[in-house]
Each structure stands twice: as structure tokens, then as C-alpha cells.
Amino acid sequence: MSARQADLKSALLAEVAKCRACRFCVDVCPTYQVSAGVEALSSYGRIQIIKHLLMGVLELDEGLTYALYTCLQCRRCENVCKSKGQNIEICEVIHNARAFLAPNYQKGGGRDS
Amino acid sequence: MIPKSRNLVRELFSLMAQNLAAGGDPLGFRQAYWTGWAEGLNLPRQGEALLFTARMYQMLPYVTQTTKLVDRTRSLLSRPALATLAKAGNLLAGEKILRHLAGREQEIEKRGRNALRGIAAALALVSGPPAYLYEKEPYSGVLLHDLGLEDVVKAHAEKVARVLHEAGSSRIMATDPHTVYMLGQIMPGYIPGFKAQVQHYTEVLAREPQRLAQAMGPMPLEEVVVHDSCQMARDLGLVSQVREVVQALGLRAKEPEHCGRDTACCGGPIEFAYAELSDRISRMRAADLSDQCKNVVVTCPICLINLAKHEQEFGLRVWDLGELLNAGLNRPLAD
């Protein structure tokens, strides 16, 4: 892992650690709203997926890839997070996680291959 | 059932990076397909204020067809061996095929063209004829940034910065919010020292509502419900401007339940890979909007194509604000 990747990982873990699991962001997430209550397809679910991927508890598979790349980056969850006083940059976290994981999906890279 | 995604994402990343290198945008065409809307307008190629489309409206017919192709070839793209065959067979990347198929999307092509002509006419009215880069105009790279392809975007951002520097304009008036966000907030992270005074065109128009109102001809409707794009409202904080322009057009602006900073997404950002999920989200939003009014106004090309998919089902007409400007300033509606 490069120094830049290591910095990105630390920053991501610090940001996701701020989540107090209040779940107020879940109901406003459009992908959750149309997915029959699958929490992995909500902003909170994605935060937990990222946390556990970074900690090595989960491995990147088909379902987790789907959850991460279906985020619309619409920031509606952040409005709620802010109003509840936590103010986590949820879409920034998901974007940075995509950037961190991008080598898995690019030719010649691949921590999962 | 969760769709298989790993290989799909891998193949789409590879295709988009390849297309960006070949043609400067996610389509990868070698011929300039994005200048036709400006035919006959004689916009100057240089000037203090630059009209910047970033090819977004012009891509719409091709995006519609590409999305259909990805959806049709999803099962192939989800499997490594078959994905190579799909690409080799030009199912996805064939310029000729896509150009041919996009020819079927005449309605969306016309709406995009009218929107740009309306925006250009309105900007010319309030701040003089804008400059336009024609075939030199680059794509901003925003979709690849959203996907986290930072190394690919960095190389592209350097080209965009160079073109804009050579253009020499002191301000940029972008026709869509994704480009405003990319140039104003994201590019400086890729290009240290990059600084552009970039605005969404509604910011410019909202400063001169009376001039706009005086020049405006009759509208084809009386009231509209405003759909705020996520990027406009939450990233750029632009909520009042579109309403001020709508009022200047002599229209009543109605509000859906979720509006302004609480707006609901059109589903567009994931359409490139997950058309079915995107469609469910855009349908939900179209239903909300149709409860208020059957005429919807949008200020983003992505919102336009995604909400327009549900026009028939809900009896809606989704108008880009630029189309309404075109109807009022370039009447009759230019074909």
C-alpha cells in the first residue's frame, strides 16, 4: 500500500468512526427507498461496509461492490446527519472509498484478483 | 437478487478510461459531435465570458443508447471471458453503431439543442454574446471523478485546465451543475493553482430578471413544478436562482414535497451501470412531481433524461429551463 493509500485509509477510518449509528440517514436514501428495506443499500449500510472492508472483516465481493457503486452521491443523507449534529461527510467517505478501492477494478491492479 | 457487479464495474472503468483517452469524454468518439447546436449562432471563439457546455446536453442521445446497450449486455459484462467478447464485438464501444442508434433519439436530441440555444440567447441578452470553444470544448471528467478514478481524471484535468487557460476568458458560464461543481470545487484538488470563476448560467440570468422578463415572448404553459437537482441545491447552494428565472418567464413556480436542499434525486448518477435501479428512483421522483403539476422544470441534463423517461406514464412534460428560454426568446421553438 502506498503512503497516499495509507493516509486515505486512516482518514476514512477516522471519519466512519464518527458514526453513532442513529440511522436517521437510512430512510432518506433513494436506493434504500426503492430496495425493500435492504440496509446495505442505504448510506448507513455503506458506511458500515466501508468500515468493515478497511478493517479486513469483510472482503470485496459482488454484493459489496453493488452497494458501493449504487450510491448516487446525492448528499441527502448528509442533510440529515448534519441536522442530528454529527455532520459526517457521508458521500465524501463513499467517494474516497471508491478511490481507495479503484485499483481493484482497474486493469493491472487488483487486491482481489 | 443483487446483480453481479465486480466485473461489470471493472469493464466499465476500462471502457471509460479508454474512451476518455480516445475522444476526451466517456463516449470516445473521434469526430466532434457536440458543436451542431451552435450552428448559425456565430458565437465568438474568444471572449471575456465563456459559455461552457462540457458536451453534457449533446451526449444525451448517446447516453440513452449506451445505457440500453449496457443493460442488454449486462450478463456478458458480468463475466470476465464474455466481457472481452462483448467489447470485441463492438456491442458497447462501436462509434458507428452508437451514432446510428442515437439517431433514433431525435426527441431528446432536439430538446438538448433547444435548451442550449435558449441558454445562449438568454446569456447574450443579459451579458452580451458569450464565447464558445466549438470543437475545442472539453468534457469536464466529472463522471470518472464520481467513480473514484482519480489517476485517470488527473491526466484529463490537466488537458481541461490547459484548454481553459488558452481560451483566456475571465469567467465561465456552465450550462449544467455537474460541470460547475467539477470546475469550481474539484479541479483545484487535481491541479494545484487552478482557479476558475465558474457559475451556473441561472446565476447570471437571476441578476437581470427584468431584462429577461421584458424580452420574453409568450410561454407554452402557465405554471411549473421545480425539480432541484441534487448538485444544484446541495453542492452549489443554488435554489432561489432557478425560481427567479422561472418568474421572469412569467410562470408560476410550484414546489414538490421535497425541494431545495431536501430535494430528491432523479436517479441519474447510477444510470450508466444500474439502469433498472436508476429507473425505480427516477419513477419515484416523477410520481412526487406529478402530484403538484404536470409540467416539470429542470436545470440539469441528467435530470432531464431521467425524469423524461416517465412522461408518458404520469402524463408529464419535463422541460429543461433552457427549452423555455428558447421558446420565449427564439420563438417559434427552433427545430
Model confidence at B100: pLDDT above 60: yes
Three-state secondary structure call for residue B252: strand
Cell 405554471 belongs to residue: B223
Contact A62 B4 (CB under 8 A): yes
Contact B281 A31 (CB under 8 A): yes
CATH code of the domain made up of A3-104: 1.10.1060
pLDDT-derived band at A106 (thresholds 50, 70, 90) equals confident
**E-assigned strand segments in B147-303:** 171-174, 198-200, 223-226, 252-254, 295-298
Q: What is the model's pLDDT at position B75?
A: 64
Mean pLDDT computed over B11-19: 86
B262-274 pLDDT tens trace: 999 999 999 888 9
A75-104 pLDDT tens trace: 999 999 999 888 999 999 999 999 999 888
Model confidence at B189: pLDDT above 80: yes
Model confidence at B46: pLDDT above 80: yes
Mean pLDDT computed over B139-150: 92
What is the DSSP pairing of strand B295-298 with strand B252-254?
unpaired
Beta bridge mates, B298:
B320
* Spatial contact of B45 and B132, defined as CB atoms under 8 Å apart: yes
Beta-carbon contacts of residue B152 (< 8 Å; ≥ 6 apart):
B16, B17, B20, B144
Lookup: cell for B239: 435554489
Cα(A72)–Cα(B278) distance, integer angstroms: 9
Model-level ipTM above the cut of 0.85: yes
Contact B9 A105 (CB under 8 A): yes
Q: Does residue B235 sit at the A interface (CB-CB below 8 Å)?
A: yes
Q: How many residues in total does chain B contain?
A: 335
Helix axes B56-72, B301-308, angle to 10 degrees: 50
Contact B148 A34 (CB under 8 A): no
Q: Which of A61, A66, A74 sits opposite B230 (nearest CB)?
A: A74
Q: Is the model more confident about B182 or about B66?
A: B182
CA-based nearest residue to B38, from B126, B131, B106, B101: B131
- How is chain A split into domains, by residue range? 3-104
**Interface size between A and B, measured as CB pairs under 8 A:** 98
pLDDT-derived band at B79 (thresholds 50, 70, 90) equals low
CA-based nearest residue to B52, from B187, B208, B151: B187
Q: Is the model more confident about A29 or about B101?
A: A29
Question: CA of B283, closest CA in chain A: separation in Å?
Answer: 10
Cα(B253)–Cα(B100) distance, integer angstroms: 39
Q: Does residue A95 sit at the B interface (CB-CB below 8 Å)?
A: yes
pTM: 0.92
Beta-carbon contacts of residue B129 (< 8 Å; ≥ 6 apart):
B43, B44, B47
Q: Does residue B36 sit at the A interface (CB-CB below 8 Å)?
A: no
Beta bridge mates, B200:
B174
pLDDT-derived band at B27 (thresholds 50, 70, 90) equals confident
CB within 8 Å of chain A, chain B residues 284-313? 284-285
